[in-house]
Structure 1
């Protein structure tokens, strides 16, 4: 492994990492990434060339949507041949959603796309922005035998590199804001940058990049809870143009066995609505049929999300619906790992 000269493109979408503090007023203001090296001179120590591009109107990540996801994918597609790696600067609140979705949108990815951000702005005295940004660029520039070492969508935060579609934001205040409970860290930054190469995604290098921009968000997410009513469940399934529903169940995929609940699910599955079962737990997996309370779901054709995160479950669902896949093939593809999102 070596870290030879690489061309890296920074894509700024918005978020805390793109803010600096006005020390006279204490107010936060947008950061001009064209002056990046002036703000973070440590970047000049990296053996790579860095270029930047920004959304015309950077947004708070709470306003992130599928049009923005397509915009990020388009920027990567437009610059794919000119750069060896990409670092996407993004607000932390929806970073796992965006990064997970991009992992499905970028098929046969042969270069790193590293998402990062920060809990504090670049100009803050105790900021985590500099370390996250510097190491993300270093990770994106890693090469082996003249080719990018990492060939997947990743997320870097607080000394850890994760597979993006395995991550969840767990903490709104700690610098260690993200975790990946069901998959190993891809790399860890300490005195040395240690890459766990055995856990990296290995795409078919004979295939070329294919960008998927058709996403379908006619979906819903239901988190079951003790005492949930028939009216609440039915109201979701009454949504116009609904095509699929993700249900966050308890533990290993368990939920109420009340007849009204199962009848609603059965009726909608027969009407062509895809229903996916994922667990509310941050770690572990759905095991349909393992307990009596999930056997009925398996029998009526509910799709198992296995150990997928909520963020990846949503991105994968929008992606597959956008491919207009239906019937048994849809169920098979959803239960099959496409980008390393399932064990």
Structure 2
């Protein structure tokens, strides 16, 4: 029996992670997500198929609101049967709120919905975007006997996977921007990806 490659839908809602700096002007602009694979060739090493969906107008996460949450939930709902997992790229300021809202809107999930983003734009030399994005996709495509290992809304940032509705943003300066004060992380990424099965 051949196992199929997990299919992941990458949903870009806005946020620093999808920005590139224009090196002449220093201005940030959103980049075309269809160019993602050429920007991050490491994505080819992941054992999954990735499709992308972008909000027409990227949302600054400080303007995130209920209608945006409904839109995200609808995109996931409409594509739920076609994909094995979902990765939502989001501005970090309100990511905890969105992850929390979606965890209540999307009930009885049997697939992962992983929120991630970055503190620095994807084109920056010292960006955290690549690691966050690559590992979030990896986590979303983790399978055991062709079933997703993670079956809930989570937030992945700086080597840690948290339950989505248990996170809070603690820093705008540091890469480890989030914490989950009253619930242990679900997984930690180091040399190996360690899932906390408890």
Equivalent in the alignment of 1:64: 64
Distance 1:109 1:47 in 2: 23
Equivalent in the alignment of 2:102: 102
TM-score by structure 1 length? 0.56
Distance 2:31 2:139 in 1: 23
Equivalent in the alignment of 1:49: 49
TM-score by structure 2 length? 0.97
1:134 is aligned to 2:134: yes
Distance 2:62 2:165 in 1: 19
The alignment's C-alpha RMSD in Å is: 1.0
Task: Trace 1:1-343 onto structure 2 (pairs within 5 A).
Answer: 5-198=5-198
Distance 2:95 2:120 in 1: 15
Distance 1:41 1:7 in 2: 18
Distance 1:179 1:144 in 2: 27
Distance 2:82 2:97 in 1: 27
Contact 1:161 1:186 survives alignment (8 Å):
yes
Deviation string, structure 1 residues 222-259 (Cα, Å, up to 9, x no partner):
xxxxxxxxxxxxxxxxxxxxxxxxxxxxxxxxxxxxxx
Equivalences, count: 196
Distance 1:155 1:113, change over 3 A: same
Larger radius of gyration: 1
Contact 1:12 1:89 survives alignment (8 Å):
yes
Q: CA deviation at 1:4?
A: 6.3
Distance 1:65 1:27 in 2: 26
Q: CA deviation at 1:115?
A: 0.1
- The runs of 4+ residues in structure 1 deviating greater than 2 Å are none
Distance 2:153 2:197 in 1: 15
Distance 1:191 1:153 in 2: 24
Equivalent in the alignment of 1:290: none
Contact 1:4 1:143 survives alignment (8 Å):
no
Which runs of 5 or more structure 1 residues have no equivalent in the other structure?
199-343
Distance 2:12 2:49 in 1: 17
Contact 1:5 1:49 survives alignment (8 Å):
yes
Higher normalized contact order (CA 8 Å, seq sep 6+, divided by chain length): 2
Deviation string, structure 1 residues 317-338 (Cα, Å, up to 9, x no partner):
xxxxxxxxxxxxxxxxxxxxxx
Distance 2:5 2:190 in 1: 22
Contact 1:112 1:150 survives alignment (8 Å):
yes
Distance 2:187 2:193 in 1: 7
Q: Secondary structure at the match of 2:80?
A: helix
Which runs of 5 or more structure 2 residues have no equivalent in the other structure?
none
Contact 1:4 1:47 survives alignment (8 Å):
no
Higher helix proportion, which one? 1
Deviation string, structure 1 residues 252-299 (Cα, Å, up to 9, x no partner):
xxxxxxxxxxxxxxxxxxxxxxxxxxxxxxxxxxxxxxxxxxxxxxxx
Distance 2:54 2:65 in 1: 16
